């Protein structure tokens, strides 16, 4: 393996994701580097979706989806892609994400250096993700950014394309790297999409104001309409009570998905604590985030709602202490999931 490009991937990870910089190092080698590369490739796709004009990002996403197959001649195509993708980004793109786009060839080179069993799950994930992003844009974006999706089913479809497929990819990597996990493949695969969707839906709710300021919205328009809202009026102070009621309804939906994500995490073998903790960290962060969002009008203000670092540290410690006990983990999860989940069944 070429140390320099692998080092770039490991160094870049915490610059573009604080959460995954915490849990990926818990994975055994070479799974940790494989998941790092997979995350960075998905982040490249996400950056193109968010930061490149709609007229350009569709073709770039298609090209990224093709590059991950590492067909002969991919090196030159990757360098050309990186140059054009960097020029397509808006001026306000975060520097770390711009650098990641520019270093796409290094990420792909690291992927090429990894064992062959790593390649199929990652390539399928990135192809499905980029194709799905383009499909959502064609169906719901018109000539600009997506400003609301028709209904919850469409929001779930979007969450599948950008995160549910990641759950499936992770399952493929876990099963290929761990004989113990391979015995549980069927249980894992049936829950894998919900694991990804739960985390993505939590992020959509947490980042609703940031997305609106960027000119996009991934919430269902029919549920907004039921509360007398549209994407254009969602953040108006005069309609804050309506927006909070909408948020609480969607938090309940996210919790239902998170319940399945817990079952996914507990389906991983106790003998593989790194795999379990990798999934449990973001799961419990999401549960705490949903508690912070529920009934909180501040989520529609410019300053993002975040769980305190002390809470993050506590959750990490508590999950580490309980990682070998399903019963203890269920009890901990219950502390971060409200008993009242009215309305969630209607949208599951």
For residues 166-193, average pLDDT = 95
CATH of the domain at 227: 1.10.600.10
* Domain-located, residue 138: no
Q: What is the pLDDT of residue 39?
A: 96
Q: What is the pLDDT of residue 338?
A: 54
Phi/psi at 217 (5° precision): -155, 135
Q: What number of CA atoms fall less than 13 Å from residue 249's CA on the CB side?
A: 17
CA–CA gap between residue 33 and residue 114 (Å, rounded) = 8
Asked if 163 and 281 sit in the same domain, the reply is yes
Asked if 89 and 172 sit in the same domain, the reply is no
| Structure tokens belonging to residue 347 | 């949208």
- Relative to beta strand 147-149, strand 217-220 is parallel
pLDDT class of 285 with cuts at 50, 70, 90: very high
* Domain-located, residue 131: no
C-alpha pair distances (Å), 232 with each of 221, 342, 348: 11, 27, 26
Q: What is the pLDDT of residue 153?
A: 93
pLDDT class of 2 with cuts at 50, 70, 90: low
Which residues on adjacent β-strands are paired with residue 147? 217
Asked if 42 and 6 sit in the same domain, the reply is yes
Asked if 274 and 160 sit in the same domain, the reply is yes
Residue 159 CB neighbour total at 10 angstroms: 27
CB-based contact 257:300 (threshold 8 Å): no
Which residues on adjacent β-strands are paired with residue 217? 147
* Domain-located, residue 137: no
For residue 83, the Cα-to-chain-centroid distance in whole angstroms is 26
* Domain-located, residue 272: yes
Q: What is the pLDDT of residue 109?
A: 95
Asked if 210 and 313 sit in the same domain, the reply is yes
Which range is most confident: 235-249, 296-310, 324-338? 235-249
* Domain-located, residue 256: yes
**pLDDT tens, residue by residue, 12-70:** 998 998 888 889 999 999 999 999 999 999 999 999 988 877 667 788 999 999 999 99
Asked if 300 and 199 sit in the same domain, the reply is yes
For residues 171-196, average pLDDT = 94
Asked if 169 and 307 sit in the same domain, the reply is yes
Asked if 67 and 105 sit in the same domain, the reply is yes
Cis peptide before 316 (omega within 30 of 0): no
Going by C-alpha positions, the residue among 250, 251, 243 that lies closest to residue 338 is: 251
* Domain-located, residue 218: yes
Q: What is the pLDDT of residue 340?
A: 36
Asked if 7 and 49 sit in the same domain, the reply is yes
For residues 240-262, average pLDDT = 96
pLDDT class of 335 with cuts at 50, 70, 90: confident
> Rg (Cα) of the chain, in Å, rounded?
20
Q: What is the pLDDT of residue 315?
A: 92
* Domain-located, residue 134: no
Asked if 222 and 159 sit in the same domain, the reply is yes
With b meaning 16 or more CB within 10 Å and e meaning fewer, what string describes 190-202?
ebbbbbbbbbbbb
Question: Of all residues in the chain, what percent carry a pLDDT higher than 90?
Answer: 76
* Domain-located, residue 206: yes
Asked if 199 and 298 sit in the same domain, the reply is yes
> Chain-wide mean pLDDT for the chain?
90
How many domains are contained in the chain?
A: 2
More confident residue, 144 or 187: 187
pLDDT class of 80 with cuts at 50, 70, 90: very high
Least reliable range by pLDDT among 48-52, 125-129, 172-176, 330-334: 48-52
For residues 268-278, average pLDDT = 96
CB-based contact 122:111 (threshold 8 Å): yes
For residue 101, the Cα-to-chain-centroid distance in whole angstroms is 18
Q: Structural domain of residue 105, as residue ranges?
A: 1-117
pTM confidence score: 0.90
Cis peptide before 30 (omega within 30 of 0): yes
Strands (E), the chain: 147-149, 217-220
CA–CA gap between residue 312 and residue 114 (Å, rounded) = 32
Asked if 165 and 80 sit in the same domain, the reply is no
């Amino acid at each position: 393996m070429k140390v320099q490009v692998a080092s770039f991937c490991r160094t870049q990870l915490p610059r573009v994701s604080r959460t995954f910089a915490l849990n990926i190092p818990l994975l055994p080698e070479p799974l940790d580097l494989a998941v790092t590369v997979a995350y960075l490739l998905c982040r490249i796709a996400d950056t193109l979706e968010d930061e490149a004009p709609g007229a350009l990002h569709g073709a770039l996403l298609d090209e990224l989806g093709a590059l991950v197959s590492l067909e002969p001649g991919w090196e030159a195509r990757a360098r050309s892609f990186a140059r054009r993708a960097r020029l397509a980004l808006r001026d306000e793109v975060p520097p770390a994400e711009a650098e990641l786009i520019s270093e796409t060839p290094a990420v792909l080179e690291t992927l090429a250096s990894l064992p062959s069993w790593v390649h199929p799950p990652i390539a399928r994930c990135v192809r499905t993700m980029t194709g799905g992003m383009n499909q959502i844009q064609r169906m719901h974006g018109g000539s600009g950014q997506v400003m609301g999706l028709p209904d919850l089913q469409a929001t779930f479809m979007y969450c599948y394309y950008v995160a549910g497929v990641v759950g499936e990819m992770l399952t493929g990597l876990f099963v290929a790297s761990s004989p113990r996990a391979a015995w549980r493949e069927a249980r894992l695969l049936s829950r894998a999409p919900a694991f990804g969707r739960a985390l993505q839906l939590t992020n959509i709710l947490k980042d609703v104001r940031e997305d609106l300021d960027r000119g996009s919205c991934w919430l269902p328009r029919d549920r907004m309409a039921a509360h007398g809202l549209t994407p254009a009026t969602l953040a108006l102070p005069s309609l804050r009570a309506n927006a909070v009621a909408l948020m609480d309804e969607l938090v309940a939906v996210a919790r239902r998905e998170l319940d399945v994500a817990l079952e996914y995490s507990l389906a991983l073998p106790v003998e593989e604590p790194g795999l379990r903790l990798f999934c449990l960290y973001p799961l419990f962060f999401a549960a705490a985030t949903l508690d912070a969002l529920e009934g909180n009008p501040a989520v529609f203000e410019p300053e993002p709602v975040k769980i305190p670092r002390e809470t993050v540290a506590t959750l990490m410690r508590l999950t580490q202490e309980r990682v070998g006990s399903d019963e203890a983990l269920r009890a901990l999860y219950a502390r971060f999931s409200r008993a009242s989940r009215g309305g969630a069944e209607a949208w599951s």
